[in-house]
């Protein structure tokens, strides 16, 4: 009975072959190896196609002796013959980030008063980092460093004044277009890349809608979430947070001017002050314009900043905080399902546990640490749901 054999035709750089002792002449530009595999070994040859950095073709014909070991030795020894399309080496990646969570608030780091079983299980099955410190204590610079692997001051995302984090969706600041994120690197390697949750790296540059700082311009091909961040202004029942000191100062100026105008009007009415009605009217108009000039921004912070977007489109303005957690979970599960055949990167950037600590009724009052503890335990539940769905997908390995 005649066994099939295989001829490997190698064209290109042969320096690695010389180092391996397969050939001896550096002038060789083409090499023919005759290999005869056993029937049980033929299926293994499929993993060797195609081969990067060298041009290899395979021809089946009938010759003598088995030389499969030569081919296996060659492809195991030479880095230039690693399979280019070996999907097994491109795992799906689910990256989960919490917001303003303390290391001492998790059970896997010693806390026995908050229930975080899902995060604890992740830690038990993986690696716990004890010296992995954030690059900055605030949202914008720390996330810029996380996305790029560079200190935030190198990308211009660090400031020395009071505005160390982006304050407005409408601002022109943001992560520069020339910065390389880990999402862009994976995207260039054939990954589907999604971001669900918080961005806080800017949106526009010169005009509304140019979206130069948008996630889709930084290596992500799908985005659903907040382009900004949660603040107390997103909750109508909370005191204002964005530029609270400046807002209070402007409101004080408004009251002072209004009191002055009322004093002039009262003095004119009582005859204590001789001033024309046009002057009083003009002063009232100035006061109104001054009030509108600042209140049009600070009075509608919730509408301008607290929005949800899907890619380039606004889906909620303002966002309904009570629904946000379920929407994020639904989007994460949907993204994993759509890309279950991978490879994909999903960056799940949670809004938990940033103020105003919006928590659904199912978790309110359940922890020993008030609203913050309730929010932490709800976050753990969200992570458990995402992790459970991730684990239910078997076509590709998960990370």
**CA distance linking residue 260 with residue 92, whole number of Å:** 66
Phi/psi region, residue 328 (left: phi>0; alpha: psi -120 to 50; beta: rest), is alpha
- 214 catalytically annotated: no
- Of 75, 81, 139, 306, the active-site residue reads 139
71 three-state secondary structure: helix
* Residue among 358, 353, 366, 386 at smallest CA distance from 105: 353
- Of 75, 81, 200, 213, the active-site residue reads 200
Helix spans in the chain (H): 15-20, 68-77, 117-125, 139-148, 182-188, 244-270, 277-298, 301-305, 321-338, 370-391
Phi/psi region, residue 370 (left: phi>0; alpha: psi -120 to 50; beta: rest), is left
* Residue among 8, 3, 4 at smallest CA distance from 74: 8
- 151 catalytically annotated: no
First to last CA, the chain: 47
Q: For residue 83, what are the contacts with CB-CB under 8 A and spacing of at least 6?
A: 47, 48, 49, 50, 51, 89
- 99 and 356 in contact (C-beta within 8 Å)? no
For residues 387, 388, 393, 399, the Cα torsion angle rounded to the nearest 10 degrees is: 20
**CA distance linking residue 377 with residue 368, whole number of Å:** 11
> How many CB atoms lie under 10 A from the CB of residue 112?
6
**CA distance linking residue 86 with residue 237, whole number of Å:** 54
Phi/psi region, residue 378 (left: phi>0; alpha: psi -120 to 50; beta: rest), is alpha
Active site residues: 139, 200
């Amino acid at each position: 009975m005649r066994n099939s054999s295989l001829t490997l035709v190698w064209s290109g750089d042969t320096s690695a072959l010389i180092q391996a002792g397969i050939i001896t002449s550096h002038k060789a530009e083409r090499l023919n190896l005759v290999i005869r595999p056993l029937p049980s070994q033929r299926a293994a040859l499929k993993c060797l196609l195609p081969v990067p950095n060298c041009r290899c073709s395979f021809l089946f014909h009938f010759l003598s002796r088995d030389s499969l070991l030569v081919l296996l030795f060659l492809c195991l020894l030479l880095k230039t013959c690693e399979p280019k399309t070996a999907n097994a080496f491109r795992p799906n990646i689910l990256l989960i980030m919490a917001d303003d969570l303390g290391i001492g608030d998790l059970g896997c780091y010693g806390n026995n008063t908050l229930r975080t079983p899902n995060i604890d299980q992740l830690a038990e099955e993986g690696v716990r980092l004890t010296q992995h410190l954030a690059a900055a204590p605030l949202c914008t610079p720390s996330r810029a460093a996380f996305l790029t692997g560079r200190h935030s001051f190198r990308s211009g995302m660090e400031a020395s004044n009071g505005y160390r984090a982006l304050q407005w969706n409408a601002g022109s600041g943001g992560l520069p277009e020339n910065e390389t994120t880990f999402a862009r690197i994976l995207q260039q390697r054939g990954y589907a890349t999604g971001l669900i949750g918080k961005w806080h790296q800017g949106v526009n540059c010169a005009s509304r809608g140019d979206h130069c700082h948008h996630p889709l311009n930084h290596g992500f091909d799908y985005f659903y979430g907040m382009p900004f961040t949660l603040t107390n202004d997103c909750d109508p029942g909370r005191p204002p947070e964005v530029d609270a000191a400046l807002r209070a100062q402007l409101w004080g100026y408004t009251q002072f001017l209004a009191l002055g105008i009322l004093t002039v009007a009262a003095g004119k009415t009582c005859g204590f002050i001789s001033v024309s009605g046009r002057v009083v009217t003009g002063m009232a108009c100035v006061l109104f314009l001054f009030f509108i000039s600042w209140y049009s921004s600070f009075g509608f912070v919730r509408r301008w900043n607290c929005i949800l977007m899907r890619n380039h489109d606004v889906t909620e303005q303002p966002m309904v905080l009570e629904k946000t957690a379920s929407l994020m979970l639904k989007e994460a599960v949907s993204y994993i399902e759509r890309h279950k055949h991978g490879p994909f990167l999903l960056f799940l950037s949670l809004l938990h546990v940033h103020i105003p600590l919006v928590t659904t009724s199912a978790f309110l009052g359940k922890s020993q640490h008030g609203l913050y503890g309730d929010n932490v335990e709800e976050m753990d539940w969200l992570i458990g749901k995402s992790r459970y769905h991730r684990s239910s997908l078997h076509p590709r390995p998960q990370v």
